Chains A and B, each alone.
Chain A
Amino acid sequence: QVQFVQSGTEVQKPGASVKISCKASGYSSPIYFIHWVRQAPGHGLEWMGWVNAGDGVPQYSQKLQGRITITRDTLSSTGYMELTSLTSEDTAIYYCTGGPTPYNLDSWGQGTLLTVSS
């Protein structure tokens, strides 16, 4: 099963951007889907988008379209999620997750806390 290790805690000011990384290990299939999911304090999970690790084609939630970019680097087996124009409503724990199909989130990273505050 794949293991994901994410980058550390982030503190950003409103209007800034953030880029979180997620290093994957332990998978052999070239077809793998890396998703990003976030969880605001005291709230449920929100799907943000995915990237097909094989061809690099992303898909984003309509809510975040225009502010989010999800990429991957095949050489380092690392996924990235960049979010721009941050507001306090983006304060959340961000998880990378994924699996061999686009529908099932088999493995999860440890989460990255993002705090947006002036």
Chain B
Amino acid sequence: QSALTQPASVSGSPGQSITVSCAGTINDIGTYNLVSWYQQYPGKAPKLIIYEVTKRPSGISSRFSGSRSGYTASLTISGLQPEDEADYHCCSYAGGRACVFGGGTKLTVL
């Protein structure tokens, strides 16, 4: 069982917006503004797309945004494109554990 809870799958049509949730506890998301999100294509290594809840690394599209409310972090992808179809993983710092991951969410672009 993963420490953070994500939906197994989400879907959307091109041009739409989707949101992936990541539910944690007081011990991780609820205490630390240190949530990151990773995009992973099949057979490839993950790639950092959001860090410290809301920040985007250089080169990441502004269509990707992050937020946090209470014990839940969210990743929103606006203007959905076919190339956004991938797995998305959230991670939160949790004190003694540098990164507790969610189970991952498969995004399907219809």
Contact = CB atoms under 8 A, between A and B. Distances in A.
Contacts of A95: 45-46
B47 interface: yes
A105 B45 contact: no
Contact of B45 (A59, A102, A104, A109): A109
Contact of A105 (B46, B96, B104): B46
Contacts of A97: 45-46
**Interface size band for B:** 20 to 34
Given A35-B98, A61-B97, A45 B52 contact: no
Interface in A79-102: 95, 97, 99, 102
A37 B51 CA distance: 17
B66 interface: no
A107 B62 CA distance: 20
Contacts of A110: 45
Interface string B31-62: 00010101000000111100110000100000
Interface of A: 33, 35, 37, 43-47, 50, 59, 61-62, 95, 97, 99, 102-106, 108-111
25 contacts: A33-B98, A35-B99, A37-B101, A43-B104, A44-B89, A44-B101, A44-B103, A45-B89, A47-B97, A47-B98, A59-B96, A95-B45, A97-B45, A102-B93, A103-B93, A103-B99, A105-B46, A105-B48, A105-B91, A105-B99, A106-B51, A106-B57, A108-B45, A109-B45, A110-B45
